[in-house]
A and B are shown apart, each in its own frame.
With several copies, the nearest count.
Chain A
């Protein structure tokens, strides 16, 4: 392992109860990676959204399933992967509806992925339905 690279992994049952602990895990890592407060907030929220999606969409709140979060950083980038073994989804099929339209249709969804892509510097989704789906997120570490 690159001496400057640090690896962290968290496995928790698939329940929204664990979102707070996931955010604390992320914020500790951001602090160590040297992210400023604003960027820490963005990464925390992005990981929360990714994990909430796994809990809801991949596992339909089945708490016997596990959400896995992997983080690494060096002095340039912080990378966080959120992993599930659910059916996955095709990100290109997600409509980027206007918030106005969602409101008119009384839909509340579709905001999470938008926040993630706004807040992270790179977002990539790899899926093998039923095997392993991973949302890769990267944030550059800007010098404070």
Chain B
């Protein structure tokens, strides 16, 4: 069977880094939602979502980004996204997510982006 879904979390200099792997669809999105909720509940509002190993995303996965982004920004934080494969990137772009979110090349680029612009302005 095809690659299922996995989430791994690490902290780096006060930033929460969430690594996604496999398929993020309506079945697995609730796990991702719970992972982000955990950060917010712990008062950690600077979140990097690393999609380097994400092979698929549907609107249910995108919905998770939408649900939380205002809240973390109100707290002076942000959700910054990196490592999008072309197929995944295309979905972000069609829905206008590329103007809404900072999409970076990789984790270091997201870290740098947090230093330069803690909250995305748009």
Q: Which of A82-90, A110-118, A124-132 is the contact stretch?
A: A110-118
Are B63 and A111 in contact, CB atoms less than 8 angstroms apart?
A: yes
Are A17 and B66 in contact, CB atoms less than 8 angstroms apart?
A: no
Total interface residues on B, using CB and 8 Å?
Answer: 28
**With A20-B1, A49-B59, A106-B70: A115-B91 Cβ-Cβ less than 8 Å:** yes
Are A17 and B91 in contact, CB atoms less than 8 angstroms apart?
A: no
Q: Which residues of chain B (41-97) have a CB below 8 Å from chain A? A: 56, 58-60, 62-64, 66-67, 69-71, 87, 90-91, 94-97
Total interface residues on A, using CB and 8 Å?
Answer: 33
User: What are the residues of chain A within 8 A of B90 when measuring CB–CB?
Assistant: 41
Interface of B is mostly: helix
Are B95 and A114 in contact, CB atoms less than 8 angstroms apart?
A: yes
Of the listed residues B4, B26, B70, B87, the one surrounded by the most CB atoms of chain A closer than 10 A to its CB is B26
Are B25 and A20 in contact, CB atoms less than 8 angstroms apart?
A: yes
- The answer, yes or no, to whether A55 is at the interface (CB within 8 Å) is yes
- The answer, yes or no, to whether B23 is at the interface (CB within 8 Å) is yes
**Which of B25, B87, B95, B122 lies in contact with A19, CB distance below 8 A?**
B25
Are A102 and B1 in contact, CB atoms less than 8 angstroms apart?
A: no
- The answer, yes or no, to whether B117 is at the interface (CB within 8 Å) is no
Complex Cα–Cα for A112 and B66 (A): 13
Complex Cα–Cα for A68 and B66 (A): 30
User: What are the residues of chain A within 8 A of B87 when measuring CB–CB?
Assistant: 38, 41
Complex Cα–Cα for A71 and B6 (A): 28
Complex Cα–Cα for A41 and B58 (A): 11
Complex Cα–Cα for A48 and B94 (A): 16
- The answer, yes or no, to whether B105 is at the interface (CB within 8 Å) is no
Q: Which of B's residues lie within 8 Å of A, judged by CB?
A: 1-2, 4, 23, 25-27, 56, 58-60, 62-64, 66-67, 69-71, 87, 90-91, 94-97, 100, 122
- 25 A-B pairs within 8 Å (CB atoms) are namely A16-B27, A17-B27, A19-B25, A19-B27, A20-B4, A20-B23, A20-B25, A23-B56, A31-B1, A38-B87, A52-B58, A52-B59, A52-B60, A56-B26, A99-B97, A99-B100, A100-B122, A106-B67, A106-B70, A106-B71, A108-B64, A109-B63, A114-B95, A115-B95, A119-B94
